[in-house]
A and B are shown apart, each in its own frame.
Chain A
Amino acid sequence: MRQALRTASFQLLPGLAILAGLFLLPLSYFFVVSFWQVRTFRLRPDATLEQYARVFTEYGSTLAWTLAIATLIATVTAAIAFAYAHYCRFRAGRFGDGLIFLSLVTLFGGYLAKIYMWKTILGGTGALNSALMALGLTSGPIPALLFSPFAVIVTLTHYCLPLAILPVYGALRGLDDTAIEAARDLGASGPRIFRDLILAQARGGLTAAFALTLVITAADYVTPLMVGGPSSNMIGLFIQSQFGNRLNSPLGSAMAFVTIACCGLIVLTLSLTLRALTRPRT
């Protein structure tokens, strides 16, 4: 028994080492640093909450804006991802896997390419405005399409969509068709089956899709900078600036950890809500 345990822990060792090396160590380092200070370009160990106080006093509204727009994007993305994955799983028949693969192929374009693509589409002389004007729907280009929060939402939703589709599709693929037929047989209507069976079992995948999008979005700063216009900047820009330009890793770390914690709370809220909504009863 002990021997087996030892063998098992040896087998786990490489995995744990990778986990610790890649994630835990850097994260713990920055967590410790978030209680330090910077004086004359040097890190000074300390045990102060000053950085955390500054996050809320100086970057509170930016944080709130970031979480609000990230939550919106994550909600929209998860909803579209769910609809797409649902279609692929239940309606597309044997083309389902192919459609999922297609959505993943769009990831190859890369992040910057997608940003530039949307800049081209949404710009004053872009495809969308040209089409709207050609159709006579608008007399001139709509400036608010680009350099606005709208453009940020569109771009990030588009970027995150394939990543969000994957966990939802994974969860939906595992669903038993017979169980769905059984529910119908027991009198359940479409919406009822959706809630009691599909949503209840795809909850994890949906939460994962939401969480993935939320985290990517809340940490992003390039998209708002490139397509968001003058007033869409998100907390990531200021975290980046603390590390990259202002060399204040304590404040940058504190900002990052507060953002992570807030994202965690949002995901937890969603997860608990979904659980309450789909909880099986006798």
Chain B
Amino acid sequence: MAPLVELVGVGKGYGSATAVHPLSLRIGEGEFVSILGPSGCGKTTLLRMIGGFVTPDEGSILIDGRDVTRKPPEKRATNMVFQGYGLFPHMTVAQNVAYGLRIARVARTERARRVAEALDLIRLADLGDRAVSALSGGQRQRVALARALVMRPRVLLLDEPLSALDLKLRLAMQEEFRRIHAQVGGTFIFVTHDQAEAMSLASRICVMEAGRIVQDGTPEDIYRRPASRFVAGFIGEANLFEGVGSDERVRLSCGTVIPGAGAEGPIVCVVRPEAVTLAADPAALPDQCDARLFATVEDVVFLGPEVRTTLRTDSGAQALALSRTAGPLRPGDRVTMGWATADQQVIAA
């Protein structure tokens, strides 16, 4: 099946700075893709190229098989939800939502029906006549979403839509986005710098670093099998142990040798903190923990569902373990960190 959105060798620079290195990307119908990366990684430029607000220096962009590389935004089957929302301050909620339909000359009754439907979808059905200046941040965000959704775009582009909201509202809106995506279907491309947001929303995440897509996969893939030290560090928390790999074994910098296939030469061994088990007595570790490392407890924080223990390995590296129970550990205690090599990822450094 042909992809809905296809980028072929698309690149963009500003003066001597390269915002996006030539890259290719295929996004299928109905996907909820998140483009994730720190600020300045080129993710917004990439999204704006798909939306038509930025013309690429090279490469081409196809939507539904048609080349739209040089087409302005008003001529594309995409709609965008902007970071600052960009609501029309002199119009009411309903006027904002109806604007695109009026431009498209959708008949009055049809227009009214679709506006009502969109307001219903974002649960603001009663606020159609309200001035947008009288809305809360979350409500504005929903209006911006409705204004784009009412157009029934083939591709909905979302540029950090939740970044201006507080955490609680952000979580609630993530829920909303999931619901709406499930309800209306369609293809969503969602730019964010918040990995938790990306993980919770998207079925596919493209991690960007310095103008390149460094990993493209499902949230679980990316979490469990980060392709680089950068991805590992950016997505969730990770213990990064440096060492040298050879013959299915890894010699960590503290001298400990653990089993570990994957790379020869300098490596980074990525171990998620929840995979780590701690024990004062190495013998107490379960059998599947075939990789072991000595460390000293620095701090123990009880967080409710889990306990967060910070440690320092004998080679001086910082380490972290998450566990269900606190156990009798105190700062200063000598412990053994154990994990199953099946849970570790060895990446060439």
> What residues of chain A have their CB less than 8 Å away from a CB belonging to chain B?
176-189, 192, 196-197, 200-201, 280-282
When distances are taken between beta carbons in the complex, the residues of chain A under 8 Å from B98 are 281-282
- Contact size class for B? 35 or more
Contact A186–B79 (Cβ < 8 Å): yes
When distances are taken between beta carbons in the complex, the residues of chain A under 8 Å from B84 are 176, 178
Least distance between B131 CB and chain A CB atoms (Å)? 11
Contact B86–A178 (Cβ < 8 Å): yes
Q: Can you report 26 residue pairs joining A to B where beta carbons are below 8 Å apart?
A: A176-B84, A178-B82, A178-B84, A179-B86, A179-B87, A179-B88, A181-B73, A181-B82, A182-B85, A182-B86, A182-B88, A182-B144, A185-B51, A185-B52, A185-B73, A186-B74, A186-B147, A186-B151, A187-B75, A187-B103, A188-B74, A196-B88, A201-B89, A280-B91, A282-B111, A282-B115
A39 to B126 CA separation, bound complex (whole angstroms): 68
In the complex with contacts A176-B86, A178-B84, A178-B86, A185-B92 CB distance below 8 A: no
Contact A280–B86 (Cβ < 8 Å): no
Chain B, residues 168-207, CB within 8 Å of chain A (1/0): the string is 0000000000000000000000000000000000000000
Contact B95–A182 (Cβ < 8 Å): no
A185 to B144 CA separation, bound complex (whole angstroms): 12
> What residues of chain B have their CB less than 8 Å away from a CB belonging to chain A?
51-53, 72-75, 78-80, 82-92, 94-95, 98-100, 102-104, 111-112, 115, 128, 144, 147-148, 151
In the complex with contacts A176-B86, A185-B80, A280-B92 CB distance below 8 A: yes
Least distance between B325 CB and chain A CB atoms (Å)? 49
A200 to B115 CA separation, bound complex (whole angstroms): 22
Least distance between B125 CB and chain A CB atoms (Å)? 14
When distances are taken between beta carbons in the complex, the residues of chain B under 8 Å from A179 are 86-89
When distances are taken between beta carbons in the complex, the residues of chain B under 8 Å from A185 are 51-53, 73-74, 78-80, 148
Identity of the chain B residue whose Cβ is nearest the Cβ of A178 in the assembled complex: B86
In the complex with contacts A201-B89, A280-B92, A183-B82 CB distance below 8 A: no
Least distance between B61 CB and chain A CB atoms (Å)? 15
Ranked 10 nearest A-B pairs via Cβ? A178-B86, A186-B100, A182-B86, A280-B91, A179-B86, A187-B103, A178-B84, A280-B95, A282-B98, A187-B74
Contact B73–A282 (Cβ < 8 Å): no
When distances are taken between beta carbons in the complex, the residues of chain A under 8 Å from B82 are 178, 181-182
When distances are taken between beta carbons in the complex, the residues of chain B under 8 Å from A280 are 88, 90-92, 95
When distances are taken between beta carbons in the complex, the residues of chain B under 8 Å from A178 are 82-86
When distances are taken between beta carbons in the complex, the residues of chain B under 8 Å from A180 are 86
When distances are taken between beta carbons in the complex, the residues of chain B under 8 Å from A189 are 74
In the complex with contacts A280-B91, A281-B95, A282-B115, A187-B86 CB distance below 8 A: no
When distances are taken between beta carbons in the complex, the residues of chain A under 8 Å from B148 are 185-186
Dominant secondary structure at the A interface: helix
Identity of the chain A residue whose Cβ is nearest the Cβ of B105 in the assembled complex: A187
When distances are taken between beta carbons in the complex, the residues of chain A under 8 Å from B90 are 200-201, 280
A85 to B337 CA separation, bound complex (whole angstroms): 67
Identity of the chain A residue whose Cβ is nearest the Cβ of B78 in the assembled complex: A185
Identity of the chain B residue whose Cβ is nearest the Cβ of A193 in the assembled complex: B74
In the complex with contacts A280-B95, A282-B115, A184-B89 CB distance below 8 A: no
When distances are taken between beta carbons in the complex, the residues of chain A under 8 Å from B86 are 176-182
A185 to B79 CA separation, bound complex (whole angstroms): 6
When distances are taken between beta carbons in the complex, the residues of chain B under 8 Å from A177 are 86
When distances are taken between beta carbons in the complex, the residues of chain B under 8 Å from A197 are 88
When distances are taken between beta carbons in the complex, the residues of chain B under 8 Å from A183 are 88, 99
A184 to B72 CA separation, bound complex (whole angstroms): 8
When distances are taken between beta carbons in the complex, the residues of chain B under 8 Å from A181 are 53, 73, 80, 82, 86
A189 to B75 CA separation, bound complex (whole angstroms): 10
A177 to B102 CA separation, bound complex (whole angstroms): 21
When distances are taken between beta carbons in the complex, the residues of chain B under 8 Å from A187 are 74-75, 100, 103-104, 151
A200 to B99 CA separation, bound complex (whole angstroms): 14
A192 to B79 CA separation, bound complex (whole angstroms): 18
- Additional A-B contacts beyond A182-B144, A192-B103 (16; CB < 8 A): A178-B85, A179-B88, A181-B80, A182-B82, A182-B86, A182-B88, A182-B147, A184-B72, A185-B79, A185-B80, A186-B103, A186-B151, A187-B103, A201-B90, A282-B98, A282-B112
Least distance between A73 CB and chain B CB atoms (Å)? 29
When distances are taken between beta carbons in the complex, the residues of chain B under 8 Å from A186 are 74, 79, 99-100, 103, 147-148, 151
Question: Contacting A281 at CB < 8 Å: which of B53, B72, B102, B128?
Answer: B102
When distances are taken between beta carbons in the complex, the residues of chain A under 8 Å from B78 are 185
A178 to B144 CA separation, bound complex (whole angstroms): 11
Least distance between B170 CB and chain A CB atoms (Å)? 20
A184 to B75 CA separation, bound complex (whole angstroms): 9
Least distance between A194 CB and chain B CB atoms (Å)? 13
Least distance between A277 CB and chain B CB atoms (Å)? 13
Question: Contacting A182 at CB < 8 Å: which of B75, B80, B92?
Answer: B80
When distances are taken between beta carbons in the complex, the residues of chain A under 8 Å from B112 are 282
Question: Contacting A176 at CB < 8 Å: which of B73, B79, B89, B128?
Answer: B89
In the complex with contacts A179-B89, A197-B88, A280-B95, A184-B102 CB distance below 8 A: no
Identity of the chain A residue whose Cβ is nearest the Cβ of B108 in the assembled complex: A282
